[in-house]
Amino acid sequence: PDQDIADPAGFLALDFVVVSRLGVDADADAGPGPPAAFGAARGDARRALDCGGLGEHLRDVRAPLTPRRFVGNIVDAVRLDGLRVPTDPAEARRRLCGDDR
């Protein structure tokens, strides 16, 4: 995640990559866009990973599983069942972190 990507358009050159996201309308031919926009979107996505229910979920998944954590995960699973994360990184950051930059 800390690697700089100089040319995001290079991702499209990989012919073995298949776009398949269930339940998501994606335009596979759209590409990542200009490098500056890609960098901004990447920053927004990274920020969103630490916020709200998504941040809680990731902390639950990464924490060592103790008896207390097990019970906490069950409670969080019920509480976070309706968690929905927008596919647009800027929108995800706004909704999950509550910041408008």
Model's pTM, two decimal places?
A: 0.60
Q: Which contiguous run of DSSP H or E holds residue 9?
A: none
pLDDT at 4: 66
CA triplet 86, 91, 93: central angle to 5 degrees? 100
Q: Which tokens go with 55?
A: 């941040």
Q: Quick one: pLDDT band at residue 11, thresholds 50, 70, 90?
A: low
> Where does residue 89 rank: exposed (0-12), middle (13-18), buried (19+ CB within 10 A)?
buried
Rounded to the nearest 5 percent, the helix, strand and coil shares of the chain are: 50, 0, 50
State yes or no: pLDDT of 34 exceeds 70.
yes
State yes or no: pLDDT of 99 exceeds 80.
no
Rounded to whole angstroms, the Cα distance separating 24 from 1 reads: 24
Rounded to whole angstroms, the Cα distance separating 79 from 76 reads: 5
pLDDT at 68: 95
Q: Quick one: pLDDT band at residue 58, thresholds 50, 70, 90?
A: very high
Q: Which amino acid is at 10?
A: G
State yes or no: pLDDT of 21 exceeds 60.
no
